Structure formats: C-alpha cells, structure tokens
Copies of this chain bind each other. A is one copy, B any other.
C-alpha cells in the first residue's frame, strides 16, 4: 500500500463532489494517511462520506495542497474555476471523462497553469458516496492529461494522487485522451446502446435464442443515459469523427449483405478480427492465444468453489471466467479461459475429478 510519507503528495487533499468517484478518491487518500477535506452541493453527501471515514467537511480558511474536482461532466469547468479562485496556492485536478471541453471553457482563466486534468478508468453501475471504495482504482489505468502550459510540479502531484489511489498512470495530451476514449469507450458505448435498442420490443420467442454473444455486446448499454449523454455529448468532436467513420463502414457492410458480396463481408469481418487482436492483453502484454474450457456446474452455492479448487489443484492459471445464462436448465455452463498450451492439462484434471468438461 503506498504511504503518504514516500509520496510528493502530503495533503491536505480537498475533494469537491462526494459521489462514487470523489468519495472513493477520498477514502484512498485517507488509507494513505492524508488529511482529506470534503465538499459537495448536497450537504447530505458530505455527511455520508465523512461518516464513512472519507475525511472532514471543508471549512473557510482551509488551504489544500491539491483539489480534486469530481462533479458531473457538464459542471466540470465551473467547479474547476471555483477551485482555482478559492485555493490560490493549490494544484487543481479533476476526474472527468472528457478533457478538452473544460479546458476550452476555462481559456484565459488566471491560475490555469495550476490545473492538470486526469481520468481514472474505473466506475460502477451504482452511484453516490455509499457505493464508494478505497479499492475502486486498484490496478486501473489513470490518464493524466496536462495542457502544454501546466506546471511540472502540478503534474507530479496529480500523478502521485493516481499512485496513492492504486491506479496505473498513463500520461497523454488532453486532445489525445479525448480521441482515445472516443475509440475505447464512448463509441463502443453508443453502438452497444444501438444494438441493445434493436432488442427493445422484440418478441420473447425471438429473444429466447439470445446467447452469450449478444449479452456481451449489450452489457455496457445498461449504463445511466443521463450520465452517458453528458460524457458522450461532452466529447462530441472526437465521437462524431469516429462514429462517422463507423457509419461509412456500416454502409459498406449493408451493401455487401444486400449484394451478396461474400468477399466484401469477409473482409470487413477480418478487419474486426484484427481489431480484437489490437486490444492489449492482460497486464499490458501482447495477447496470448486463449482457449475456453467449458464445464457444466450445478447451480447452487459451493459448486463453483469446488470447481475452482479442482482447477487450482491442477496448477493451471485461469485467465478469465464466464458463466453462461442458460434458459430452462438448473445447470450453469462455466467457461474457463486458459493459455492454449495448458487447456488439455486442465481438461484432464477436471475430467478426472468427475466434471463434465470440454473445449
């Protein structure tokens, strides 16, 4: 666990906005022994966060070393400006999902060289301080996005915050960040929602044929529309550019399907395969060939533990797990992803202990 004494960050840290992300940052800073000051438009949120041990309510005359703005995207610029004015000696950062729009809105603001944007890649389907956790950022990428004129000391302080929170620092320019999240988050979210939209109102008979594929494609579409319309709308330039490219490729796909152009269709699908291989593998390494070993597991407590105990005894590391939601049967199908060269070993170990398993 990082200790405050080994960090350039010594506190106090003020957190503005004690929702899920802000309170989680506050709890992580408290875990590292830092003094934390809390503020929010909603005094109930401050009381709740404070009661969870996230810090004490901020008071006039407080002099934070670092202010962390954790408010909804549409209110970022205004809250960053207020922090720069209220704490003229502090470094100010934020944890918002878009980085250029607030900077543009703040152009010319005195003290803007004390602001360094950041964006931890973590969240939850829940919101509010009660959903917060000091562990929320453990192992997650945390983008730090200084503008060209940001002070170097401020950048170091914000990177220290990311480290205190357990995040993995990824430094990039604000405009790069926004293009990156358009590609890795905003456009996938929007398209997932469009695919999910085609299921709304479909007949139950048809939806009975839903497998794991469509469930995976549409999982993130369950996110809060109000929040995601702010996030995606706040990154309009980068999202529109990429979404326009995707629409043009969708038109090509539609033409290929209508014209019976199998080669054109296969070429678009092959481009997709190349894309799946471009996503970084576990721990940032190159992707390794994985194989899914499928096991039938009775659907009651204890059976998964028995399966993982048997899998653990085999010495093969499980890289990923999926449980298939199968209609009409009280048995679950658990898919264990393992490195291809260990699949037979795992399969043999499980079958020798009576599991019905296959690759």
Q: Are A208 and B266 in contact (CB under 8 A)?
A: no
Residue on B nearest A312 in the bound complex, by CB: B305
Contact B329 A272 (CB under 8 A): no
- Give the nearest-CB partner of A166 in chain B: B329
Which partner residue on chain B sits nearest A318 by CB separation?
B304
The CA of A207 and the CA of B132, in the complex, are separated in Å by 27
Please tell me if the beta carbons of B305 and A225 are within 8 angstroms of each other in the complex.
no
Give chain B residues whose Cβ lies under 8 Å from the Cβ of A317. 299-301
| A308–B284 CA distance with the chains assembled, in angstroms | 26
**CB distance A325 to B282 under 8 Å?**
yes
A328 contacts the other chain (CB 8 A): yes
Q: Which of these, B177, B272, B323, contacts A319 with CB under 8 Å? A: B323
Cα of A329 to Cα of B137 in the assembled complex, Å: 12
Asked if A58 is at the interface of the complex by the 8 Å CB criterion, the answer is no
Distance, CA A310 to CA B301, complexed state (A): 11
The quantity of this chain's copies bound in the complex is 2
Counting contact residues on chain A (CB < 8 A from B), the size range is 35 or more
| Complex contacts, A246 vs chain B, CB 8 Å | 194-195, 197-198, 250
Q: Kindly state the separation between the CA atoms of A292 and B126 in the bound complex, as whole angstroms.
A: 9
Which A276-328 residues have C-beta < 8 A from chain B? 276-284, 291-292, 294, 296, 299-328
Residues in chain B near residue A217, CB distance under 8 A: 188, 191-192, 216-217, 219-220
A221 to chain B: closest residue by CB = B272
Asked if B272 and A193 make an inter-chain contact with CB atoms under 8 angstroms apart, the answer reads yes
Q: Write the nearest CB–CB distance from A148 to chain B, whole angstroms.
A: 17
Which of A81-89, A108-116, A168-176 interfaces with chain B? Answer: A168-176
A61: interface (CB < 8 Å): no
Q: Which chain A residues in 245-296 approach chain B with CB under 8 Å?
A: 245-247, 249-251, 253-254, 256-258, 260, 262-263, 265-284, 291-292, 294, 296
Q: Which residues A121-144 have CB closer than 8 A to chain B?
A: 121, 124-126, 131-136, 138-141, 143
Q: How far is the CB of A28 from chain B (nearest CB, A)?
A: 11
Do residues B262 and A254 form an inter-chain contact, with CB atoms below 8 A?
Answer: no
Q: Is A211 an interface residue (CB 8 A)?
A: yes
- Does the CB pair A276–B176 fall under 8 Å? no
Q: Is A204 an interface residue (CB 8 A)?
A: yes
Cross-chain contact A193 with B280 (CB below 8 angstroms): no
A283: min CB distance to chain B, Å: 6
Q: How far is the CB of A355 from chain B (nearest CB, A)?
A: 10
Within 8 Å CB of A256, what residues of B? 233
How far in angstroms is the closest Cβ of chain B from A248?
10
Is A242 located at the chain interface by the 8 A CB criterion? yes
Q: What residues of chain B lie closer than 8 Å to A279, measured between beta carbons?
A: 199, 207, 210, 214-215, 218
A179 to B221, CA, bound (A): 22
Residue contacts A-B, CB under 8 angstroms, 21 given: A131-B359, A133-B358, A134-B358, A135-B296, A140-B326, A141-B327, A183-B198, A195-B275, A197-B249, A197-B275, A207-B278, A208-B280, A214-B279, A221-B272, A221-B273, A222-B276, A243-B250, A283-B299, A283-B329, A304-B311, A308-B308
Given contacts A125-B292, A133-B358, A216-B217, 4 further A-B contacts (CB under 8 A): A196-B271, A207-B280, A221-B269, A250-B250
6 closest A-B pairs by beta carbon, nearest first, are A193-B272, A133-B358, A196-B275, A305-B312, A284-B327, A180-B206
